[in-house]
Structure 1
Amino acid sequence: MSSDIESGLYYPNRWVRIILIATEEIVGKNGVNALLNMGGLSHYIDNYPPDNMKKEVPFEHVSQLQQAYWDMYGPRGARAFAIRSGKKTFNDGLDSFGTAAKAARMAMKIGTLEKRIGLGLQFFAKFFNQVSDQQVAVTENENEYLWHLQVCPMCYGEESDSPLCYLAVGVLQGALENFADPSKHYRVTPIKCIAMGDEEGVISIDKDSILGEDR
């Protein structure tokens, strides 16, 4: 479980509120309450963060919620649950992306699908960096885009033998479905994690869809 020491790093209220609402829609009110109790976050029961973009939720609380998924559902169940919750969080919270969402949509109308996805990821990385204390960078090589989590709320203060950033995997899958071709599916895989001792978390996004060549 995460340390009680405050990091001084924060996530926007609205994003954590959306995560909790999305989780509630998947497991029900009692399920959310059980997760919050297990994560030492009982003060959020019937008291979700307010619906604004103020940075007031400590990274520790985000990582404690993520760890509660692991404790309640086990690694395999937690991964599936976190991906589903992350995807729903992106879809339900799309309005909160505001101008970033509009800019990404505009970028994705120009050029090849590969170029459009790359530009969209760059827009969202910049947006994450502006409105939260999470720090993200995007690079690419011939076969994949790499989403670098240089400062990550999902595993803050945690230690693990496997990646913990599956909530981000779900968010990225939701983004690809919304801003790329919704008929295509891309393999999104965490390959490094700060909780595993890596200097940064890294998520790989294949440039070719699972259904075939798209470049």
Structure 2
Amino acid sequence: MTDSTELFYPNRFARLLIQAMFSELGTYSTEALLESAGLTPELPANDLERGYPFKHLAAINRALFAMYGDQGARGLAQVVGRAWFSPEMESLGAFAAFAAPTFKQLPGQTRAGIGLKVLAEIFSRLSDQTGHIEAGEHGQQRWIVERSPFIFENVEAPVCYLLAGLAQACLSAATDGDTFYITETECRASGAPHCIFAIAHR
């Protein structure tokens, strides 16, 4: 299942993602991956206009899996996803509150919960990637993404590891370096109604 080609990320989100790819995969590999996806290495504009189509993001993710195989792509996508949460991303909107002294005085579990909620809300507000937070089993929280831009067809397992890495880095920033395990337990690409990420504190 793929989402509508009429859905978009803001240009800046896509720009930061591609910059993270260049940083973590290198210039040659990133340019080859983008070419395989039918895209050029030119960076999107540095603005919040919803101008980068979901179909391009799905093509990038598909090319990542095609180039590196399932296991390699899962690991690399999480690395790139963590780098995607760059200082420029962290300074955007409510993310900037993570650096406030009053925020840092909150308990770690509270900061993690707020950080996850901020992540879901910013992407829902600024992009066509909608999502929300739910309470899961054993005190875990779950990020429910109704419309992921990274899904593509003909797969049997979750593929949205870029979002898992992003969430991991966001929560680490919110808690001053704590480690979280992010597992995509359900994915629209493999037939589930939504993409669901389970969050566990290490």
Give your verdict on TM over 0.5.
yes
Aligned to 1:213: none
Give me the whole-angstrom Cα distance separating, in 2, the residues matched to 1:27 and 1:123. 28
Aligned to 1:84: 79
Aligned to 1:31: 29
Give me the whole-angstrom Cα distance separating, in 2, the residues matched to 1:140 and 1:173. 17
**Aligned counterparts, 1:126-145, within 5 A:** 126-141=121-136, 142-145=138-141
Give me the whole-angstrom Cα distance separating, in 1, the residues matched to 2:22 and 2:96. 28
What letter corresponds to residue 85 of structure 2 in structure 1? F
Give me the whole-angstrom Cα distance separating, in 1, the residues matched to 2:174 and 2:181. 16
Give me the whole-angstrom Cα distance separating, in 2, the residues matched to 1:161 and 1:108. 41
Aligned to 2:160: 165
Give me the whole-angstrom Cα distance separating, in 1, the residues matched to 2:35 and 2:118. 36
What letter corresponds to residue 14 of structure 1 in structure 2? R
Aligned to 2:19: 21
Question: Alignment partner of 2:64: what SS?
Answer: helix
Deviation, structure 1 residue 123 = 1.7
Q: In the alignment, is the contact (CA less than 8 A) between 2:24 and 2:83 conserved in 1?
A: no
Question: Alignment partner of 1:205: what SS?
Answer: strand
1:53-101 residue CA offsets vs partner (Å, 9 max, x unmatched): 1111110100100111000000111011110101001124325x52211
Count of residue pairs the alignment pairs up: 200
Give me the whole-angstrom Cα distance separating, in 2, the residues matched to 1:111 and 1:22. 30
* Aligned residue among 152, 165, 171 for 2:148: 152
Deviation, structure 1 residue 185 = 1.5
Give me the whole-angstrom Cα distance separating, in 1, the residues matched to 2:124 and 2:96. 17
Deviation, structure 1 residue 181 = 3.7
Q: In the alignment, is the contact (CA less than 8 A) between 1:6 and 1:58 conserved in 2?
A: no
Superposed CA RMSD: 2.0
Q: In the alignment, is the contact (CA less than 8 A) between 1:11 and 1:56 conserved in 2?
A: yes
Residue range with higher mean Cα deviation, 140-149 or 72-81: 140-149
Q: In the alignment, is the contact (CA less than 8 A) between 1:108 and 1:180 conserved in 2?
A: no
- Return the TM-score normalized by structure 2: 0.90
Q: Which 5+ residue runs of structure 1 have no aligned equivalent?
A: 210-215
What letter corresponds to residue 58 of structure 2 in structure 1? S
1:78-134 residue CA offsets vs partner (Å, 9 max, x unmatched): 011110101001124325x52211235557435432222112211221111111000
- Return the TM-score normalized by structure 1: 0.85
